[in-house]
């Protein structure tokens, strides 16, 4: 319980202090990394002490249902550890490379506070507050670097996501109107007796809000501009940690809060996911720069998650959770390799590319395996996944050939400090692929927590 | 009462959405503000229709749920902060591009993309020539 509170308080308090200090100074940036690592440590400790989750506390010692409840179950913990982990990696990369703006370290720590709050809260309105905290931090990050290009991208990102969060708030208000509670544990049961017209509208609102966050096919329009316009570390943060809110939200709200509506919409989700996969893969093949390819690839990869959620059940949810986790790792790794060169960078890129395509021994293989297990009864979906995997192999290695096989006259190998984090992340992706048992068990526990008894 | 609130929220959302789609950046920000008001109104309406405001409850009269008023307050504060951030962003973009019309922004983006494409094509050509 104390650990759970610390996981929220450490980044919150240190973020508020760090954001007013000049982050270009080395000690400030180092402190931010220390705060992030401490947060990560708390989250891992919570997961270690309660492997099946279910640690909770209510603020101000109010009874549950009156005070604001925080609760850590396997699903929330998995996403929290993953998101803060990738955030720490991307921030470390940027700090080693040299921070460009004074507010960067503080904003990243505040983003960690928002993310762990979103994943660990059991109160619907509190979810909205932390959702906004995480998003406001990411709006500031999107303009990081202050080039005209990043500014344009940041404006698009902010405008689209602000509207997305207000749609989310509308749905939160409607849930309160219909069920009279904000406790996420109780909403699922009370939604059963709600008017179907209202509950379907609520579900659509949540789907739009999280679909915008994830960059699913009809809501993807902002994504390529933002991911190509921002710096590699920021693109890695946006795709590796902030986008996790979308996957988590779809799983939590679809699987736990609105299970009947999810079942009803399963066909539609699979169709939208398929459209995402095809659209993302085909456009990624036609791109020539690494960041553009990765942006479209991100649209395609979240399609797999949506299809798995549409299939549902412990198997489908388990596959969706695992694939979302592996995808976040891949995207962080690949975005960080985009503007560096030198020994081992090509190897790191190849491991990321193999992981995206789902080739052993990279982590992506485990994700694809689970997906195939979830869809094996449906030949059309199996065929779609195979085509998607082949296309991702094509687009990834096309970029590899273009960026790493040629020797540009002006090429200067990046320093060891710039190369450290991507290479370490590549080792992590490889390790997860070679020894997938912990992640597999964790994601199955998370799926079990979602489906419930 | 219920219908009136629904109508008002819908009208606000519609107005906001229309403004959001306009090409002027300041109008876009105003659109965001109006959409946020639609959300706040829905929050308040979700409880106020059940009775009078809970500020001075009289015995025997139904009172509305004060929790959603508290939530509306939080939402207003968050909305204000986000609006301030958006306005600051619009100011920066206006200074950087010397324009606050979206189509001019898009034009300069397209121009830059074209330049990038040309540079890529020329490096590729020169490489192919070198390989021959």
Is residue B125 pLDDT above 80, yes or no?
no
User: Is B68 in the same domain as B120?
Assistant: no
User: Is B10 in the same domain as B60?
Assistant: yes
| % of chain B beyond a pLDDT of 90 | 33
Phi, psi of A405 (to 5 degrees): -90, -25
The H or E element that residue A340 is part of is none
**pLDDT value of residue A453:** 55
**Closest approach of B4 to chain A, Cα-based (Å):** 16
Residue ending a domain, choose from A208, A234, A261 = A261
User: Is B107 in the same domain as B91?
Assistant: no
Residue ending a domain, choose from A238, A261, A284 = A261
**pLDDT value of residue A407:** 64
Per-residue pLDDT reduced to its tens digit, B8-50: 999 999 999 999 888 888 899 999 999 999 999 988 888 776 7
Token code pair at residue A427: 């080792």
* CB within 8 Å of chain A, chain B residues 42-101: 42-43, 45-47, 65, 67-68, 71, 74-75, 78-79, 81-82, 85-86, 89-90, 92-93, 96-97
User: Is A168 in the same domain as A286?
Assistant: no
**pLDDT value of residue A97:** 85
Asked if the Cβ–Cβ distance from B39 to A125 is below 8 Å, we say no
The number of residues in chain A equals: 453
SS3 A183: strand
Asked if the Cβ–Cβ distance from B74 to A146 is below 8 Å, we say no
Chain A within 8 Å of B122 (Cβ-Cβ)? no
Neighbours of A81 (CB within 10 A): 21
Which of these, A240, A213, A224, A226, lies nearest to A286 by C-alpha position?
Answer: A224
Say what the pTM is: 0.90
User: Is B18 in the same domain as B72?
Assistant: yes
User: Is B113 in the same domain as B85?
Assistant: no
**pLDDT value of residue A86:** 94
User: Is B90 in the same domain as B119?
Assistant: no
B76, B84 in Cβ contact below 8 A?
no
User: Is A117 in the same domain as A234?
Assistant: yes
A230, A144 in Cβ contact below 8 A?
yes
Contact residues for A139 (Cβ-Cβ < 8 A; gap 6+) = A154, A157, A158, A161, B85, B89
The predicted model gives B84-92 an average pLDDT of 91
**pLDDT value of residue B102:** 64
User: Is A275 in the same domain as A256?
Assistant: no
Which of these, A144, A155, A147, lies nearest to A23 by C-alpha position?
Answer: A144
Chain A within 8 Å of B102 (Cβ-Cβ)? no
Number of structural domains in chain B: 2
Q: Please report how the helices B102-131 and B66-97 are oriented relative to each other, as an axis angle in degrees rounded to 10.
A: 60
User: Is B93 in the same domain as B107?
Assistant: no
User: Is B19 in the same domain as B44?
Assistant: yes
Chain A, chain B: beta-carbon pairs less than 8 Å apart: 90
User: Is A329 in the same domain as A235?
Assistant: no
Measured between beta carbons, the chain A residues lying within 8 angstroms of B118 are none
Structural domain boundaries enclosing B29: 2-100
Residue ending a domain, choose from A261, A290, A315 = A261
DSSP result, B49-78: TTSB-TTSPPTTS-B--HHHHHHHHHHHHH
Burial (CB < 10 A; 0-12, 13-18, 19+), residue A197, is: exposed
DSSP 8-state secondary structure symbol assigned to residue B24? B
Asked if the Cβ–Cβ distance from A143 to B92 is below 8 Å, we say yes
* CB within 8 Å of chain B, chain A residues 221-260: 225
User: Is A334 in the same domain as A429?
Assistant: yes
Residue with tokens 């400030």: A28
Token code pair at residue A186: 């109780």
Pick among B67, B69, B126 to test the A interface (most A CBs inside 10 A): B67
User: Is B9 in the same domain as B72?
Assistant: yes
Number of structural domains in chain A: 2
User: Quick one: pLDDT band at residue B101, thresholds 50, 70, 90?
Assistant: low
A359, A393 in Cβ contact below 8 A?
yes
User: Is A338 in the same domain as A447?
Assistant: yes
User: Is A255 in the same domain as A313?
Assistant: no
| CATH of residue B93 | 1.10.287
Token code pair at residue B131: 């390989």
User: Is B52 in the same domain as B81?
Assistant: yes
Burial (CB < 10 A; 0-12, 13-18, 19+), residue B27, is: middle
**pLDDT value of residue A278:** 92
Partner residue facing B93 (CB), from A129, A139, A155? A155
User: Is B128 in the same domain as B64?
Assistant: no
**pLDDT value of residue A49:** 82
Phi, psi of A165 (to 5 degrees): -70, -30
User: Is A233 in the same domain as A296?
Assistant: no
**pLDDT value of residue A4:** 86
User: Is A186 in the same domain as A90?
Assistant: yes
Give the residue with greater pLDDT, A35 vs B67: A35
Neighbours of B130 (CB within 10 A): 8
User: Is A107 in the same domain as A236?
Assistant: yes
**pLDDT value of residue A277:** 92
User: Is B91 in the same domain as B132?
Assistant: no
The predicted model gives B112-118 an average pLDDT of 75
Structural domain boundaries enclosing A446: 265-453
The rounded distance, in Å, linking the Cα atoms of A314 and A119 is 20
User: Is A319 in the same domain as A202?
Assistant: no
DSSP 8-state secondary structure symbol assigned to residue A66? T
List the pLDDT tens digit at each of the 453 positions of chain A: 788 888 899 999 999 999 898 888 888 999 999 999 999 999 998 888 875 656 777 777 777 777 788 888 888 999 999 999 999 999 999 998 888 888 899 999 999 999 999 999 988 989 999 999 999 999 999 988 778 888 888 888 898 899 899 999 999 988 988 888 888 888 888 888 888 888 899 999 999 999 998 888 888 888 888 888 888 899 999 999 999 999 999 999 988 888 888 888 889 999 999 999 999 999 998 888 888 899 999 999 999 999 999 988 888 999 999 999 999 999 999 999 888 877 788 888 889 999 998 888 888 899 999 889 888 888 888 999 999 999 999 998 888 888 777 766 556 677 778 888 889 999 999 999 999 898 898 888 888 888 875
**pLDDT value of residue A335:** 92
């Amino acid at each position: 319980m104390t650990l759970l509170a610390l996981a929220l308080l450490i980044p919150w308090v240190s973020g508020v202090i760090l954001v007013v200090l000049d982050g270009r100074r080395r000690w400030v940036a180092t402190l931010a990394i220390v705060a992030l690592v401490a947060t990560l440590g708390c989250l891992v400790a919570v997961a270690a002490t309660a492997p099946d989750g279910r640690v909770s506390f209510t603020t101000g010692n109010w009874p549950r249902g009156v005070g604001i409840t925080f609760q850590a179950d396997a699903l929330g913990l998995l996403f929290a550890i993953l998101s803060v982990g990738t955030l720490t990696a991307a921030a470390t990369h940027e700090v080693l490379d040299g921070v460009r703006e004074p507010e960067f370290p503080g904003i990243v720590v505040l983003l960690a506070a928002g993310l762990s709050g979103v994943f660990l809260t059991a109160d619907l309105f509190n979810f909205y507050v932390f959702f906004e905290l995480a998003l406001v931090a990411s709006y500031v990050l999107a303009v990081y670097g202050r080039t005209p290009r990043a500014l344009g991208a940041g404006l698009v990102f902010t405008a689209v996501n602000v509207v997305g969060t207000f749609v989310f708030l509308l749905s939160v208000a409607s849930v309160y109107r219909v069920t009279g509670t904000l406790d996420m544990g109780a909403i699922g049961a009370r939604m059963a007796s709600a008017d179907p017209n209202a509950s379907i509208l609520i579900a659509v609102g949540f789907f739009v809000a999280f679909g915008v966050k994830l960059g699913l096919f009809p809501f993807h329009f902002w994504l390529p501009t933002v991911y190509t316009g921002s710096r590699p570390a920021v693109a890695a943060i946006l795709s590796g940690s902030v986008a996790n809110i979308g996957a988590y939200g779809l799983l939590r709200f679809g699987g736990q809060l609105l299970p009947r509506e999810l079942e009803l919409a399963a066909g539609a989700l699979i169709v939208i996911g398929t459209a995402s996969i095809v659209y993302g893969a085909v456009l990624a093949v036609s791109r020539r720069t690494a960041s553009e390819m990765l942006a479209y690839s991100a649209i395609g990869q979240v399609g797999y998650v949506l299809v798995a959620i549409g299939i549902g059940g412990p198997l489908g949810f388990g596959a969706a959770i695992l694939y979302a986790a592996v995808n976040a790792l891949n995207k962080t790794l690949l975005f960080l390799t985009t503007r560096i060169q030198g020994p081992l960078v090509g190897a790191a890129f190849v491991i990321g590319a193999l992981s995206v395509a789902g080739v052993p021994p990279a982590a992506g293989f485990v994700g694809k395996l689970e997906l195939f297990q979830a869809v094996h009864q449906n030949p059309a979906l199996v065929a779609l996944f195979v085509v998607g995997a082949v296309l991702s192999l094509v687009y990834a290695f096309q970029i590899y050939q273009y960026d790493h096989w040629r020797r540009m006259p002006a090429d200067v190998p990046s320093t060891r400090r710039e190369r450290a984090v991507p290479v370490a992340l590549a080792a992590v992706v490889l390790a997860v692929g070679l020894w997938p048992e912990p992640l597999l068990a964790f994601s199955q526990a998370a799926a079990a927590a979602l489906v419930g008894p | 009462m219920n219908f009136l609130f629904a109508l008002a929220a819908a009208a606000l959302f519609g107005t906001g959405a229309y403004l959001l789609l306009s090409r002027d950046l300041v109008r876009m920000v105003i659109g965001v503000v109006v959409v946020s008001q639609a959300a706040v109104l829905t929050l308040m309406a979700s409880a106020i229709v059940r009775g009078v405001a809970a500020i001075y409850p009289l015995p025997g009269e139904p009172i509305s749920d004060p929790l959603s008023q508290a939530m509306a307050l939080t939402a207003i504060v968050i909305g204000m902060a986000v609006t301030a951030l958006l306005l600051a962003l619009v100011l920066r973009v206006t200074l950087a591009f010397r324009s606050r019309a979206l189509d001019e922004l898009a034009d300069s983006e397209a121009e830059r993309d074209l330049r990038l494409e040309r540079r890529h094509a020329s490096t590729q050509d020169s490489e192919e020539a070198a390989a021959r």
